[in-house]
Amino acid sequence: MRFLAALAVVVTHIELLKAQYLKPNLWQNNKLVYELGPLGVIFFFVLSGFLITYLLLKEKEKTNTVSIMKFYIRRILRIWPLYFLIIVIGFFLLPNFKIFEHGYFTKYFKENFFSNLLLYILILPNLAFSLFKPVPHIGQLWSIGVEEQFYLMWPWLVKWSKRLLPVLFGVIIVCIFFKIVVQFLVMSDPDNDTLSQIKTFVATLKFESMAIGGIGAWCVHNDKYYRIFLSNAALICSLVLIIISIYFTPPIIQDGIFIIQSVLFLVVILNVSCNTNSVIKIENRLFVMLGNISYGIYMYHMIIIALVIIVFNKFNVEVSNNLLPQVMLYGLCIGLTILISWLSYKYFESFFVKLKRKSTIIESGSQNE
């Protein structure tokens, strides 16, 4: 499932970069393609909240506590090596090659270089994303910042909460209330750039989605409530409603539709992971491998897409919405991204994954958690 979420982001970004390189694209006039990437990120947040919360609950059940130190060691070893490698590539390697210059993004990148770099190093790429134009080819790192900020508080909540379920609902309510307050402040002073930047930053903090995933994990761990959602009818209905939400969301709730989508995604996750009769069966060797390298797919794909489009331009290969050029472009972008991500996992990330296992208390079905 993690791979499918990453693939959705890749599809949207292929079309986005086609648009940025002034090529015919599906990003500007196809709502489904436009929304696939954001949906993939929301799905990933829900899945992350589900997996992390479940593992923490199992650890608490087994040891009667949660080792905060070991939790952070595991997260650092899994996230930081590739995160900082991509920062080095984006800030110090790619700018040395003229072919990677990217219009006005490159101009703003040079102007805000040190401010951007500092925020990225402090694991605040989502704040940088709110204050400045995206860093060329690595703007997707904003969501990694959200994940890391989520990890700062989550093990403490699970460790000290005697009644975790009300706490999870409380997190959702507080986040919604805070965003509503920010929205009203912006509406009261729409020309205030600082308030607009605050709104953009707050909008990146999808802790509600992670808490919804956590609620699902609590239900599964305690064997309560979730079984009523385990049916192919519920699964298919959720997928259909997600598609409907793309096209028919009223503007007044546009900023909050991700909460409804998160609930629908949770139903999908519950069925795929807990419903033995699910029509979606992706637990096999191929998808396990793709799941293990999905972090790399997410981190490398923008660089590879840009490189493929640049090479196509150099050799006058057509970049358009026609069938054959699309097949060639998508095949190369996705194939090379998977290859580079696999090489990265095998020869770079796996070293840190092995170190991470020394701090692992509860084994998961995925090397990524």
Residue range 298-337, pLDDT digits in tens: 999 999 999 999 999 999 999 999 999 999 999 999 999 9
Q: Quick one: pLDDT band at residue 358, thresholds 50, 70, 90?
A: confident
- Give the pLDDT of residue 362: 76
Indicate whether 158 pLDDT > 60: yes
pLDDT, tens digit, for every residue of 64-104? 999 999 999 999 999 999 999 999 999 999 999 988 887 76
* Residue 176 pLDDT greater than 70, yes or no: yes
Predicted confidence (pLDDT) at residue 367 exceeds the cutoff of 60: no
Residue among 358, 304, 291, 365 nearest 331 (CA)? 304
Overall pTM > 0.85: yes
Mean pLDDT, the chain, rounded, equals: 94
Task: Judge whether residue 117 has pLDDT over 60.
Answer: yes
Average pLDDT over residues 341-360: 93
Q: How far apart are CA 315 and CA 331, in angstroms?
A: 17
Nearest CA among 256, 210, 194 for reference residue 43? 210
What is the predicted pLDDT for the residue at 252?
Answer: 82
pLDDT of residue 369 exceeding 60, the answer is no
| Tokens representing residue 225 in the block | 């409530």
The percent of residues above 70 in pLDDT, for the chain, comes to 98
pLDDT-derived band at 238 (thresholds 50, 70, 90) equals very high
The answer to whether 281 touches 65, Cβ cutoff 8 Å, is no
Task: Give me the pLDDT at residue 365, please.
Answer: 59
pLDDT(6) > 80: yes
Backbone angle region of 199, left / alpha / beta, with phi > 0 → left and psi within -120 to 50 → alpha: alpha
The predicted structure's pLDDT at residue 194: 93
Percent of the chain scoring above 90 in pLDDT: 86
Distance (Å, rounded) from C-alpha 165 to C-alpha 53? 11
Q: How confident is the model at residue 24 (pLDDT cuts 50, 70, 90)?
A: very high
Rounded mean pLDDT of 171-187?
95
Rounded to whole angstroms, the Cα distance separating 65 from 63 reads: 5
Distances (CA, A) of 294 to 87, 209, 304: 18, 20, 15
DSSP state of 346: I
Mean pLDDT along residues 107-119: 92
For residue 29, pLDDT over 60 is answered with yes
Average pLDDT of the segment spanning 200-211: 96
pLDDT of res. 104: 65
Q: What is the residue whose two structure tokens read 């509503």? A: 180
Given this model, what pLDDT does residue 103 score?
75
CA gyration radius, the chain: 21
> So what's the pLDDT on residue 33?
95
pLDDT at residue 368, rounded to an integer: 55
The answer on pLDDT for 364 being more than 90 is no
Dist. CA 339–CA 345, nearest whole Å: 10
Q: Which has more confidence, 193 or 107?
A: 193
Lowest mean pLDDT among 139-148, 151-160, 246-255: 246-255
